[in-house]
Structure 1
Amino acid sequence: MTDNSTSIELEDGRRIGYAEFGDPAGKPCLFVHGYASSRWMAGWALPADALARSAVRIIAVDRPHYGLSSPHPDAGFLQWAADGSALAEHLGLRRVSVIGVSMGAGPALALTVQRPDLVSGTTILSGMPPIDAHERWTPASRGDALYWWLARHAPRVLQKLCEFSSSMLARAADGEADTLITRMERALPVPDRQAFRSLLDDDARRVAFVSDTREASRQGGSSTAGDLQQYLRPWGFEPANVRSAVRLWHGIDDPKVPVESARRWADRLPHCEARYVPGGHFAPFLHVEDILREL
């Protein structure tokens, strides 16, 4: 797969990285990746042939501190929305759709709230909802539950753990692709393992996954630790402020974001069409053709 990545400089001197996939003349869509990922997620999660059939142009953006994007001193969702808006202006885009994956949900909806003149519609896949200050957040995955507990009670320990995890992933991404993919599969519950395997069913997507892992860990573990801490803080806007149409796809057996939380979140979004499908955190990507057609 050709590396079509680049970056632009923002007014404050930071840079924002992105890559394009799909039909260059197609309908533009900003793709906002999730936790421990990068712009390259779009290269393995969205099949090239499906993008071509749907005539969709994906602009996949590195969130702050991931890949080619600089850290952001404020790191809030509304601040990221200003970056996304600047990128759209740089590319001459007047109307775009937005896809937010997992922890990309907050930034995607922030852009939707701030720029209703730009965003024509928003799709959230396995989205992370707002966490209230006193909410007992307990995902089914024990590993995830530990990371969230550390984010609340021991942020310095979390930082060290994320740095270690990032260094291990970077080392694995520089090794054999099959070894990395097998290692990732073993860490997944059965429904997600099967979906993950089907998503990496050709060489191009496997190459993109390795690139995604490498870029996700390019700047160390501060990005992943920051993601968890950001979701424990107020978003800067309420779900009720999202006045544009939102399509939400979520797996009913998602071990990372319990479907009950997704249902409560969907009820708070004024114009939300929610679809709950069999499977785990990767389940929505098994319905890519439908998702792209809705764009």
Structure 2
Amino acid sequence: MTVISLKSAPVREGLTLPYAEAGYPGGTPVVFVHGLADSWWSFEPLLRRLPPSLHGYAPTQRGHGDADRPADGYTPEDFAADLVAFLDAVDIDRALLVGASTGGVPARIVAGSHPDRISGLVLIGAPGTLTDKPTVTGLRESVQGLTDPVPRAFIEEFMSAMLARPVARGLIETMIDESLKLPAYVWKETLRGLLEADLPVTLAGILVPTLVIWGDQDDFLPRGDQQTILDAIHGARLLTYEDVGHVVHWEQPERVVTDIAAFAETIEHPGAPDRSH
């Protein structure tokens, strides 16, 4: 297993982001971007399985986990700006971005706005849009009613809806504890920022190689949502994981790492055969 180091990066005045780093110095830089209520821990199953060809970084976003919690600034554009500042802070000239769930939104904003800094984009269970989805409507109503301390039962229900098959109980307990660190206002402001953003617009202008990974038992995002992404990003390719839910990288970490490594190889060596599956 790859050793994971925990570090922190001051990205701007008053905002320091903890991050996990793993892998070999000469590996392709891969920056993992988590979604609502998660932290770097969401990618622990991937970081400890990284092959020598990859060097991983997983920052915790503002307001989440043990990161600083500004009073405001929770739109996708704010998270995207933090991500660029993170690349600068840890001295990454160019990286492969991997955005999971709603973390795919700031990741693709950066991919579209800073193509000189991004070698490729992987979207894992990322939304094309969040409109007209009953599960999202229900989540919005629940989040609007949250007060501190956020009830553990709410977190447990939120998390159980993401999975189609069992994963390690230790991971689930860790992620519940990480989600409980979010104050109610961070839940509300982050979700409000996502719902008020024009998500299809965030798919425009992306020219970097893009891989879309989606579990066909995802109760949040239907197959049509992924088609929205594929139609918007020229040359984007879809890998469908059968019998897998929303959080693909928790249920199938070995396969996700293998597919990311194969995708990175095609970017580094365009003539190489694509071994992702």
Q: Which whole-Å CA distance do the structure 1 matches of 2:111 and 2:158 have between them?
A: 34
Between 270-279 and 57-66, report the one with greater CA deviation.
270-279
Which AA in structure 2 matches 1:8? A
Asked if residue 71 in structure 1 is aligned to residue 35 in structure 2, the reply is: no
Q: Which whole-Å CA distance do the structure 2 matches of 1:159 and 1:278 have between them?
A: 33
Which AA in structure 2 matches 1:93? I
Asked if residue 294 in structure 1 is aligned to residue 257 in structure 2, the reply is: no
Partner-residue secondary structure (3-state), 2:40: coil
1:81-160 matches, cutoff 5 A? 81-131=80-130, 135-139=131-135, 144-148=136-140, 150=141, 158-160=143-145
Between 92-101 and 219-228, report the one with greater CA deviation.
219-228
The alpha-carbon deviation at position 18 of structure 1 amounts to 1.2
| Matched-pair identity in % | 19
Give the corresponding residue for 2:247: 282
Decide which of 210, 222, 225 is 1:261's aligned counterpart: 225
CA contact 1:54–1:293 (8 Å) conserved in 2: no
CA contact 1:98–1:108 (8 Å) conserved in 2: yes
Partner-residue secondary structure (3-state), 1:59: strand
The alpha-carbon deviation at position 227 of structure 1 amounts to 3.1
Q: Which whole-Å CA distance do the structure 2 matches of 1:186 and 1:130 have between them?
A: 20
Specify whether residues 29 and 225 from structure 1 end up closer, same or farther in structure 2 by C-alpha distance, changes over 3 A only.
Answer: same
Partner-residue secondary structure (3-state), 2:128: coil
Consecutive unaligned residues of structure 1, counting only runs of 5 or more, are 151-156, 173-182
Give the corresponding residue for 1:154: none
Consecutive unaligned residues of structure 2, counting only runs of 5 or more, are 265-277
Specify whether residues 248 and 210 from structure 1 end up closer, same or farther in structure 2 by C-alpha distance, changes over 3 A only.
Answer: same
1:163-182 matches, cutoff 5 A? 163=148, 166-168=150-152
- CA RMSD, 1 decimal: 3.0
CA contact 2:95–2:119 (8 Å) conserved in 1: yes
Q: Which whole-Å CA distance do the structure 1 matches of 2:124 and 2:80 have between them?
A: 18
Specify whether residues 185 and 65 from structure 1 end up closer, same or farther in structure 2 by C-alpha distance, changes over 3 A only.
Answer: closer
Q: Which whole-Å CA distance do the structure 2 matches of 1:282 and 1:162 have between them?
A: 26
Q: Which whole-Å CA distance do the structure 1 matches of 2:159 and 2:75 have between them?
A: 33
Specify whether residues 103 and 238 from structure 1 end up closer, same or farther in structure 2 by C-alpha distance, changes over 3 A only.
Answer: closer
CA contact 1:251–1:278 (8 Å) conserved in 2: yes
Q: Which whole-Å CA distance do the structure 2 matches of 1:266 and 1:276 have between them?
A: 13
The alpha-carbon deviation at position 267 of structure 1 amounts to 1.1
Give the corresponding residue for 2:271: none
CA contact 2:213–2:241 (8 Å) conserved in 1: yes
Q: Which whole-Å CA distance do the structure 2 matches of 1:74 and 1:32 have between them?
A: 17
Give the corresponding residue for 2:60: 62
TM-score (norm 2): 0.79
TM-score (norm 1): 0.75
Asked if residue 245 in structure 1 is aligned to residue 209 in structure 2, the reply is: yes
Partner-residue secondary structure (3-state), 2:86: helix
Asked if residue 187 in structure 1 is aligned to residue 160 in structure 2, the reply is: yes
Partner-residue secondary structure (3-state), 2:146: helix
Q: Which whole-Å CA distance do the structure 1 matches of 2:120 and 2:112 have between them?
A: 11
Give the corresponding residue for 1:176: none
Give the corresponding residue for 1:161: 146
